[in-house]
Structure 1
Amino acid sequence: MAKIGLQLYTVRDQLEQDFEGTLRKVAALGYQGVEFHTFFGRTAEEVKALLDELGLEILGTHVAYQRLVDHLDEEIAYHKAVGNKYLVVPYLTEEERQWSEVFDNLAKIGTALKEAGLVLCYHNHEFELTEELDGKPVFDVMYETVSADVLQVEMDTCWVHYGGYDPVEYIARYTGRLPIIHLKDMSRNEEGNAVTVELGKGEVNLSAIADAAVGAGVDWIVVEQDHCANPPIQSIETSIQWIKEYANQGGQVNV
């Protein structure tokens, strides 16, 4: 049964202003785990002690690609100390998208993490679906090129949808290599660009995605909202309420 987490980027401003208080609110809302994007200068021991107190698991951390290339030993030490298993490449700038070099580096980083007992994942946006290599989406070429032994999938299902593909199909395609998904909803502005909204407020078929993720054996379904029109704490409360309603209707998630 999949557990429910929150990507803390959603409440980044609140976390920066009140790290402990924001995590307490996240735990009180019923999220079981959190995915960090930064630790705001806290030591691994400070973070672990607070999470243990709140009963929150650290389900993963987004770590900048160049940081993993240049300072991998430091990241390994920190994440082993904080109790985090999954290190996730969150985004590549246009300048970083030298794909042959990226694939080589992901293989090297993933191998080093595996030797340390950790796991490398990659988190997609839409460009990995819309940009092609050899007639295939970069998303697929990446995972064909880099072995599953050293690179797992953190699928942002909303960006798969926005990229023009069926998230349910993509989840099925990567079953067995997919420990984490991001569950995110979106609408579109007048220009047709994605606008992230609370779960259940947009166009994404969330129930079908969650069903597929559970069927694929994911460990974590992670709520994320890149930008919130409403106060972020209110937004994450609305989203976990959707999750609870989904569970009440038979969804196989822990809430």
Structure 2
Amino acid sequence: MNLSNIAVQLYTLRDYCQNEADLEQTLRKVREIGYEAVQVSGIGPIAPERVKQLADAEGLRICATHVSLDSMVNDFDNTVQMHKLWNCKYVGLGSIPDEYRTNGEGYSTFAKQATEIGRKLKEHDLQFIYHNHQFEYQKFAGRTGMDILQQESDPAAVGFELDTYWVHVGGVNPVDAIHQVKGRMGVVHLKDLEIVDYKQVFAEIGEGNLNFKAIIEACREIGVEWYVVEQDVCRRDPFESLAISFNNLKQFL
């Protein structure tokens, strides 16, 4: 990990990215903090060409996205075109659709669908990546949903974008989970967890209880390309939260 491959997940700043003017100001603030890349997710209906112009103006690379499964299936050509425009290799899906979550067969079906999509994206030099929450760690006949996704999808076509917070909530050591996707993870989501008033809450990197020294080392060992900071809910100004996370990550450079 170095400064140039630490990115912001714009979902953290979604309330400040719903129109062109706000996105422009948001990207400027992100760059002023010191970030050199962003993941596009949760922004408003802004033309991809304009998103590219605004990011370029601030010297920010677009390292990954989250797009809908519907976009991947029913608007495939435009999805490819957008990622090519952004020079963005990683096409991310933020969550498995609800209908696949209830049993092992659903995860198996989705693993096949993800493989098909991933193989089509590969033809355009793009990489499908899947972002987890905690529910993928529910077990079905002795295997978690994540086990099924990893075991029944094509490793060349389906990559993973592990989220350290949700892996931990799912009852798995993030370091172990990272090693399990060796060769299949170019993008990781870094997110800390803190206990406040007996409840788990999202926290800035280094302000919670996760062992980020070990997490970063594991990511290095498996060759992670992009380290993306995400915080679903911030208990202070989200730009301040992102600055705290960025500054705390510097100790691991």
**Does the alignment reach a TM-score above 0.5?**
yes
CA contact (8 A) 2:206 2:249 kept: no
What's the Cα RMSD here? Answer: 1.7
CA distance 1:190–1:66, shift in 2 (3 Å): farther
In structure 1, the partner of 2:8 is 6
CA contact (8 A) 1:48 1:83 kept: no
In structure 1, the partner of 2:79 is 75
In structure 2, the partner of 1:127 is 135
> C-alpha separation between the residues in 1 aligned to 2:155 and 2:108?
17
> C-alpha separation between the residues in 2 aligned to 1:113 and 1:133?
30
> C-alpha separation between the residues in 2 aligned to 1:37 and 1:31?
16
In structure 2, the partner of 1:91 is 95
Aligned residues: 245
Moved over 4 A (4+): 189-192
Instruction: Report matched runs for 1:123-202 at 5 Å.
Output: 123-129=131-137, 131-188=138-195, 190=197, 192=199, 194-202=200-208
Cα-to-partner distance string for 1:216-242 (whole Å, 9 max, x where unaligned):
211011111000110111111111111
Q: CA deviation at 1:148?
A: 1.2
CA contact (8 A) 2:108 2:149 kept: no
> C-alpha separation between the residues in 1 aligned to 2:109 and 2:70?
12
Which amino acid in 2 is paired with 1:195? V
In structure 1, the partner of 2:234 is 228
Q: CA deviation at 1:93?
A: 4.1
In structure 2, the partner of 1:65 is 69
Which amino acid in 2 is paired with 1:57? R
Structure 2: gaps of 5 or more residues? none
Residue number among 213, 220, 231 corresponding to 1:214 in the alignment: 220
> C-alpha separation between the residues in 1 aligned to 2:235 and 2:42?
22
Q: CA deviation at 1:190?
A: 4.9
Secondary structure of 1:83's counterpart equals coil
Q: CA deviation at 1:208?
A: 1.3
Residues 1:205 and 2:211 are matched in the alignment: yes
Identity of aligned residues (%): 37
Which moves more between the two structures, 196-205 or 181-190? 181-190
Which amino acid in 2 is paired with 1:99? Y
Residues 1:52 and 2:56 are matched in the alignment: yes
Residue number among 112, 121, 143 corresponding to 1:104 in the alignment: 112
> C-alpha separation between the residues in 2 aligned to 1:11 and 1:38?
8
Which amino acid in 2 is paired with 1:8? L
> C-alpha separation between the residues in 1 aligned to 2:94 and 2:29?
25
Secondary structure of 2:17's counterpart equals helix
> C-alpha separation between the residues in 2 aligned to 1:153 and 1:201?
25
CA distance 1:141–1:32, shift in 2 (3 Å): same
Which amino acid in 2 is paired with 1:172? H
In structure 1, the partner of 2:36 is 32
